[in-house]
Structure 1
Amino acid sequence: MERRNLGRTGLRVSRLGLGTMTWTRDTDEAEAAEQLKTFVDAGGTLVDTADLYGDGAAEHLLARLMDGLVPRSELVIATRAGASTGPGTRGAAAAGGSSRSALLAALDASLRRLGTDHVDLWQVPAFDPATPTEETMHALDLAVASGRARYAGVAGYCGWQLAKAATWQLAAPGRVPLAATQLEYSLLQRGAEREALPAALDAGIGLLASSPLGRGVLTGKYRHGIPQDSRGSSPHLAGYVQPYLGERSRRIVDALSTAADGLASSSLAVALSWVRDRPGVAAAIVGARTATQLHTALSVEALTLPDEIRGALDDISAPVRRYPDQDWNEL
């Protein structure tokens, strides 16, 4: 699998990442082990997790798999800290938002669960308006300076928040430049293009695209209803999928299916290829429920979309933009 530099850093990551959100909840240990082995055998390196996933259980599971299945040295581990509302340290971190104390405590807890002395990429999970940006960024500096994290990033920041944080980190020697920002990005969700992605490109920050398959909708599985074994029928994920089941989504999914037929490929592969190769994207994070689903997603490595098909998908999925994006003459 091709590897890319993460933003303007020397850290190289596989251009597809393995997401672990379903681990221990919808994906059991045996299935997770098969996923990780399949991913690494395909040349994948980037594994994305968070203290929120399974209330820390996903990190525990990854530690067990590194202990007996895949060596730690073969993986680029990215985690996010402070997002969980569960008991213990994770709950304390959530209560403290993105304060320096809460974030560093959450990082230490993640390292204990992961069974490692460092993560390759540590990310602030969300912008916290109650904590000064400089304090949150100082936590990143301390994490890297202490060796507990090799690189730092953020997740869920909008354009002005990302620009503010990135500028602060570049304003004085000794601060750690942001390597990555993680946002949802797909043919169904192109909001990142309004401000966050331009800010990332300008600052040399790599985008980790989460939910590149539109929460599963872009696979085409929902074209004729909601399958019983899908996220859309899951008690805890139905609300996550529902916003992408409207008329606009159906038009995009139909166009995607037409493109896939023309390429003798699948809707999944075409949608994933579109995201993976967008300007500024360092990696697309694939969160599969089963190893079979992951294997299908990994087949996208052989696919590069022709310009005509990419342009057609750009047009059909173009978000509605008004002032200040449009020229006055277009209003």
Structure 2
Amino acid sequence: MEQRQVGRTGLRVSHLGLGTLTWSRDTDEHEAREQLRDFVDAGGTLVDTSASYADGGAEELIGSLLGDVVSREDVVLCTKAGVRRTAGGGVVDASRGGLLNTLDASLARLRTDHVDLWLVQTPDPRTPLTETISALRLAVTSGRARYVGLSNHAGWQVARAATLMADDVGLAAVEAEYSLLQRGIEREVLPAAADLGVGLLAWSPLGRGVLTGKYRRTIPADSRAASPHLAGFVEPYLGADSLAVVEAVAIAAQGLDRSPLDVALAWLRVRAQVSSAIVGARTAAQLRASLAAEDVQLPPEILRALDEVSAPELGYPERR
């Protein structure tokens, strides 16, 4: 599997990343074990998780598999902080204390003394960005994280954070949703990241599963859209606005004798700034389908057609 540089750093990751959103909840230990083994055997390195996934359960499961299924040195371990669980539900907390406490708890669950990449999961309107950045800097200088970045932040926040950190630690990466169904980051986040040398990790490259075509006719009983805790995650892409894009992907796949999944991943793979596309498979069989898409190359005319049908709306000041 191709290894790509993350921005202007020395960090390299596999161009497909292994997402673990469903681990320890919808994906049990057996399936997770098989996924991790298949992923590393295929040359994958980036394993992406978060302290908030299954209330820490995903990190615990990863920690139990590292050293057993694969060596810790075989993976680039990325986790996120900034969403703290309370009795009343999740609370955004990107304060210095909240972030560092979460990082220490993550390291304990992952059974490691450091993570390779540590991200702030979402903006915290109650905490100054300068304080959040101080936590990222301390995570690196203390050896608990090798590289740091942001997730789901706006373009101006990425630019401000990169500016604040430019003199020493540096901002390595931004993780954001990016697919044929969600190209909003092309307005500001991608230009900012490109100018500042920040790498992009794209989550949900299959449009929360919708780009696989599984929802074209109905909602499968075993799908995320039928799950009580994930239905709301998928629902935004089941409307009429997404239909034209999904159908275009399906038509392209039929013409190439490939699957819609293959086409969606191949489109993202040629986006110049994408260091890694993070696929979150519920089962090992689903992951193998993504790993099998390695050889797909889209003809220029299909790339142009997909670009046109999925183009994000632009207005002032991006376009005049």
- What TM-score range do you get, normalising by the shorter chain? over 0.9
Identify the match of residue 276 of structure 2 among 275, 283, 305: 283
Task: Map 1:163-242 to 2 at 5 A.
Answer: 163-170=159-166, 172=167, 174=168, 176-242=169-235
1:111 aligns to 2:107 (yes or no):
yes
Rounded to whole Å, the distance in 2 between the matches of 1:310 and 1:105 is 45
1:238-277 Cα distance to aligned partner (Å, 9 max, x none):
1111110111211111110111112111100110111122
Rounded to whole Å, the distance in 1 between the matches of 2:99 and 2:228 is 31
1:55–1:86 Cα contact (<8 Å) kept = no
**Alignment root-mean-square deviation, CA:** 1.3
Partner of 2:134: 138
Task: Map 1:67-86 to 2 at 5 A.
Answer: 67-86=67-86
Q: Which runs of 5+ in 2 are unaligned?
A: none
1:273 aligns to 2:266 (yes or no):
yes
Partner of 2:57: 57
Partner of 1:247: 240
Q: Which runs of 5+ in 1 are unaligned?
A: none
Q: State the one-letter code of the partner of 2:125.
A: P
Q: State the one-letter code of the partner of 1:187.
A: L
Rounded to whole Å, the distance in 1 between the matches of 2:125 and 2:220 is 40
**Deviation of 1:86 (Å):** 4.2
Rounded to whole Å, the distance in 1 between the matches of 2:131 and 2:154 is 18
Partner of 1:43: 43
1:7 aligns to 2:3 (yes or no):
no
1:319 aligns to 2:319 (yes or no):
no
TM-score, with normalisation over the residues of structure 1? 0.94
4+ aligned runs moved over 2 Å, structure 1: none
Q: State the one-letter code of the partner of 2:284.
A: A
Report how many residues are paired: 319
1:151–1:179 Cα contact (<8 Å) kept = yes
Partner of 1:257: 250
Q: State the one-letter code of the partner of 1:4.
A: R
Q: State the one-letter code of the partner of 1:178.
A: L
Q: State the one-letter code of the partner of 2:153.
A: Y
Rounded to whole Å, the distance in 1 between the matches of 2:270 and 2:114 is 30
**Deviation of 1:84 (Å):** 3.3
**Deviation of 1:302 (Å):** 1.0
Partner of 1:148: 144
1:231–1:237 Cα contact (<8 Å) kept = yes
Identity %: 60
Rounded to whole Å, the distance in 1 between the matches of 2:69 and 2:237 is 36
